[in-house]
Amino acid sequence: MARYQAQGQIPIDKQALQTSALTTDPVAAAVVAQARRSVLMPKMPQMAQLWDNAPALMIGAFTGTIKPADYSAKLAAFQQVISQP
């Protein structure tokens, strides 16, 4: 709880998650709810292909630098890159 109090880091200890400090904090509650639905990503070298190439696609879609008409082609190129062995 010290890191939560000092820096806002949500603890992973299940008992700590039940404290009133966390249950009454809407941000902490949202993080905990999301964590209950999350799936761990595999930790293997092939994941570097995904994370090395995904940011440009995601940022481009978010900022609008990739136009809607071009997104399918960019997504297909991304899929081809991450499908390489």
Give per-residue pLDDT as tens, 10-40.
888 888 888 888 889 999 989 888 888 888 8
For residue 42, being part of any structural domain is answered with no
Place of tokens 């109090």: 5
Measured distance CA(65)–CA(45) in Å, rounded: 29
Overall number of domains in the chain: 2
**Domain match, 6 and 32 both:** yes
User: According to the model, what pLDDT value does residue 66 have?
Assistant: 94
Looking at the structure, tell me whether residues 78 and 58 fall in a common domain. Answer: yes
Q: Supply the pTM of this predicted model.
A: 0.49
Which domain range does residue 32 map to?
A: 2-37
52 and 78 in a common domain: yes
What DSSP string describes 7-76? Answer: H-PPP--TTGGGSHHHHT-HHHHHHHHHHHH--PPP-STTHHHHHHHHHHHHHHHHHTSS-HHHHHHHHH
Q: Are residues 51 and 24 in the same domain?
A: no
